[in-house]
Structure 1
């Protein structure tokens, strides 16, 4: 049985690392990717790097130039929409299940309070950390490990953050989710999470439009 387990191909792992670097803007738009440097950085040969770059080119994240250079592109709108469509499908269900299964509200309330402090102080790193903790607590409370793992993969694979000028809305949106969970109202929690994720998506798409001007 153990011998039948298939390890993720190297090109897939390289593509995952490059995708994450592009989406977090560790490699911002306009960055030229050199196969030899990427291979050295990740400790792999150039072949899987070449294949990974071709994969990301098909996703619209990288442009292949005639001189064989690879240039990082702005994240396509379709990529962002597809990502949030999946999150909405899964995370709204997680929020609804959390209402039914949650047994201790204190961890959620504590993280929610810390998130408010972070938003008010404008500390972006703290905002991002407490935001992730907030969502992860809901995934845990949903009581489905497969659902949690899928959401974690989405979160880690596409770390697209909201523009800083939209952060003030974050806590208000979390407020509505917390209220629904405290009331153990699955439909309200589902609706509040959907509105939260849709607003996040729209804020990011609006930033894309601004950056294209």
Structure 2
């Protein structure tokens, strides 16, 4: 009996380059609008241009990189319109996903662990990654894999918005307090209260970072 071949994993060199470029983008080492030259990145990471090219294509698919026939690849630029577009998706989907997670009485241990990691983070990069894991731990157990995947698809873009906003005005202490309140309500089984708190948390961040009168 013949079995279908499993999908081929991303080659290890491509994965290495992908994670390295993503980390550089999400920590501000490669700022928005920065050209991503294949030869330069290949030399930096000690690989050929092929894994660099494949990594950039993948990052373009996640929204972190923009590919242009004439300009090549660049780090995506963050402006108010882009930020509100990404956060609008989160506002529509993430509170409902959390409500379902709580209703299902799914474990929130991963969210607590991520919150503790963020509190003891050594730098902005580690804190940003922990914050992303906190939010994912709230929506991942919602019981609807498609809903979770849709939110996963905007995670990197949301992180890019946060990186730009934090560079202008670090607000992670306030966000940490809001995270603790959300988790407290969720652990208490208050689905509506936790969903409202999460909605307010997401909305207030983008309003502070990209106020309407700044357009």
- TM-score of the superposed pair, with normalisation by structure 2: 0.63
Deviation of the 1:129 alpha carbon: 2.7
**Aligned equivalent of 2:181:** 176
User: What number of residue pairs does the alignment pair up?
Assistant: 190
2:192 is the alignment partner of 1:187: yes
**Aligned equivalent of 1:154:** 154
Deviation of the 1:23 alpha carbon: 6.8
1:100–1:184 Cα contact (<8 Å) kept: yes
Q: Name the Cα RMSD after superposition.
A: 4.4
For the residues of structure 2 that align with 1:86 and 1:189, how far apart are their CA atoms?
18
2:131 is the alignment partner of 1:131: yes
What CA deviation, in whole Å up to 9, does each residue of 1:74-127 have, x standing for no partner?
422111110000011111111111111134344433333x146326xx632332
For the residues of structure 2 that align with 1:69 and 1:150, how far apart are their CA atoms?
28
| Correspondence 1:1-213 to 2 at 5 A | 25-29=28-32, 31-32=34-35, 34=37, 43=49, 74-112=77-115, 114-115=116-117, 117-118=119-120, 123-160=123-160, 161=162, 162-163=165-166, 165-205=170-210
For the residues of structure 1 that align with 2:48 and 2:208, how far apart are their CA atoms?
33
Can you give the 5+ residue segments of structure 1 that lack an aligned partner in the other structure? 3-15, 56-60
Going from structure 1 to structure 2, the CA distance change for 1:115 and 1:192 (only over 3 Å counts) comes to farther
Going from structure 1 to structure 2, the CA distance change for 1:42 and 1:149 (only over 3 Å counts) comes to farther
Can you give the 5+ residue segments of structure 2 that lack an aligned partner in the other structure? 5-17, 61-65
Deviation of the 1:159 alpha carbon: 2.5
1:102–1:142 Cα contact (<8 Å) kept: no
1:63–1:72 Cα contact (<8 Å) kept: no
